[in-house]
Amino acid sequence: MEPVLQEIYDSILNGDAKAMEAKVQAALKAGINPKDILDQGMVAAMADVGQRYENGEFFVPEMLISARAMQAGLAVLKPHLREANVAPSGKVAIGTVKGDLHDIGKNLVGMMLEGAGFEIMDLGTDVDPEKFASVADQVDVIALSALLTTTMPNMKATIEALQRTGKRGKVKVVIGGAPVTEAYAQQIGADGFAPDASRAVAVTRALSGH
């Protein structure tokens, strides 16, 4: 790997957001392809972050500062990616379901997906099923989060809203959250279940055909 790409990678692992702007600029100035900066410097680093989270080395603070560093670099890189016609890995609408106001899980998944090259539409918390359905035409995947057993039924309600509006076939649905299980995902007809923010990337990649 080019030394400056390794520096970008390390800055993300170390959560060094302040260094990122200069390093991404340096990489661009060195003539490195924006897609290579993204894939080798950032996406690979965030995959490493995810692996360390799954291994129990990183926890939420480390994920947050790494994601912040990644976002700082991405802010510099985005115009260059657009100019180079680099398409995102896919588009994902994410939100916490109706009646649920918990957002950190959703935010972590959003950050990890962004770090994997996806474009994120964050619908926030307490999101109506109809709201999810209304954006189904614009995305490849809808990601639903719930922390409570009392709000999990709105995951099913969201899938039913997609069916009612004739959009179920246009989009994949992945679900996650503390009380959510693989069995529940199958029960309600979701396409995928992610046990944590890191594994959400692999599940979403598989569902979006990337």
Distance CA 95, CA 143 (A): 7
With contact defined as beta carbons under 8 Å apart, do 15 and 62 qualify? yes
With contact defined as beta carbons under 8 Å apart, do 176 and 194 qualify? yes
Cβ proximity to other proteins: between 84 and 101 the closer is: 101
With contact defined as beta carbons under 8 Å apart, do 162 and 171 qualify? yes
Q: How far is the CB of 35 from other proteins (least distance, A)?
A: 29
With contact defined as beta carbons under 8 Å apart, do 155 and 190 qualify? yes
Cβ proximity to other proteins: between 59 and 78 the closer is: 59
Residues 36-95 binding other proteins (CB under 8 A) are 56, 58-62, 64-65, 68
Residues 165-184 binding other proteins (CB under 8 A) are 178-179
The residues facing 118 across adjacent strands are: 90
Cβ proximity to other proteins: between 10 and 196 the closer is: 196
Cβ proximity to other proteins: between 138 and 149 the closer is: 149
Strands laid side by side in the 141-145 sheet = 118-127, 90-97, 141-145, 172-176, 192-193
Among 2, 10, 71, 99, indicate the residue that binds other proteins (CB under 8 A): 99
Residues that bind other proteins in the complex, under the rule CB under 8 A: 15, 56, 58-62, 64-65, 68, 99-102, 104, 107, 125-126, 148-150, 178-179, 195-196
